[in-house]
Amino acid sequence: MTITVQEAKEIIAQEIENLAERNREPEWMTRIRYKALEAFENAPHSDPVISEEELLHFIAKPEIEGLPEKVESLDDLPPEMKALLDRLGISEVEQKYIAGLAVQTDTGIIYNEFLKEWEKKGLIVLPMEEAVKRYPDIVKRHFLQMFSVNESKMAAYHTAVWNGGIFLYVKEGLKVPFPLHLFFLIQESALAQAPHIIIIAEPNTEFHLIEGCTAPVLVRHSLHLDMTEAYIHEGARAQLTVLQNWPEYVHTRPMTRARVGKNARFINTTVGLGTGRSNIANPKYWVEENGYVELNGIILGQKDWYVDLGGEMYLRGRGAAGINASKSVIMDEATVITRGVIRAEAPKTKGHISCDALLMSDGATMETYPGLVSKVDDAELSHEAAIGKIREEELFYLMSRGLSEEKATQLIVKGFLEPMLRDIPMEFLVEIRRIIELAVSGGM
């Protein structure tokens, strides 16, 4: 079926009306959606995997065929997915979340009550649709301030139909002593097609936000477009850990941008246990005086998946620093490409790009294109890359100690990835290690 741009716009317009009515959203947000719709037609499109014709097809027919129409119990899940969840040792509560079932548990209720108590102290964590109505002034000042609807068709489409997502606000001086895992709060938003996330860390705040799930989430959309805008103000210390495990039929296009203020620190770690059919991202960070940003990526490439990850850092203030590091384990016929760029625009800035890859098969492909750009004469910029296979002497040594080849391979892969998992809470590490073991042994 061929669809024209005009037909796609009509479909998007209908979706805007549906969202506005369902969410009872204020008129100013609906106007933003329609502005994006008008930009959609002439906005450029340059995706190496999804052509413009395919994008229009996704808009016309967004849901995957062959999945259960309605999941009322875990027994309705596709057998292979239920078997994988069981192999991973995922609890029944988490399996229900993954399947998109309503989770009514004491834990979820307690967690929401807990957040209400912290809201009195200045920690606001809300679904984005609710934040638009409860905190319109704050949302207006931050929504779509780092993106333009004219920059790409993907950005315009997301803005027109965004649904779900999270609003996180941390009041000045507040230090949150526990990781914020948005597990129960976003059980519906996490399954949305185009969630929008806004993170605001006021000066001298501290928090660690964990978003996502280690197990493969059952989604019905073939294209997932999430957008994250993070505002990390002076002296703030923020960590964002994103856990991704997309089914192999999903194309994901995460859009992330952050402003990191004077003396602020932002660490963004993405653990891509399942990247989906294709995953293309180019996050951007603007770093002010003595600010620091660290972008860490763990990529598990399997089957014929295509992963193309960028990452642009603009070191705008004196003494600003940035690190862009990735570790990839690539199997089967998968392709992984990394394209980090660091631009030094102020004196005494420092930046480093590192890319390490472990190729697990002859058909696996890794490409890396580091970019270092300096506009000053005293910047310190560097890059390193290492691509290789498991050495036979490593396997031989471990096998001589009594390990099977499979167990020895799993141990080497986990050891290769371990340095980037240092800040992830233990309950997630257990599942991440189990998924790595299954993937390496061909059990995924």
354 and 232, same structural domain? yes
405 and 268, same structural domain? no
84 and 141, same structural domain? yes
Residue 30 lies in a domain: no
Region 95-121: mean pLDDT is: 60
Of the three residues 356, 373, 389, the one that is the final residue of a domain is: 389
pLDDT at 102: 44
pLDDT at 187: 39
267 and 145, same structural domain? yes
Q: What is the pLDDT of residues 271-297, one digit of tens each?
A: 998 888 899 999 999 999 999 999 999
Residue position matching structure tokens 């994988």 = 84
Closest CA to 185 of 283, 114, 259: 114
300 and 268, same structural domain? yes
258 and 236, same structural domain? yes
Q: What is the pLDDT of residues 324-357, one digit of tens each?
A: 999 999 999 999 999 999 999 999 999 999 999 9
Number of domains in the chain: 2
Enter the pTM of the model: 0.89
Residue 15 lies in a domain: no
Tell me the angle at which helices 392-400 and 405-417 cross, rounded to the nearest 10 degrees.
120
Residue 27 lies in a domain: no
SS3 at position 321: strand
396 and 353, same structural domain? no
pLDDT at 34: 98
Residue 372 and residue 385 in contact, taking contact as beta carbons nearer than 8 Å: no
Q: What is the pLDDT of residues 39-98, one digit of tens each?
A: 999 999 999 999 999 999 888 887 666 656 565 666 766 676 667 666 656 656 556 555
Under DSSP, the state recorded for 175 is B
Range of the domain at 396: 390-443
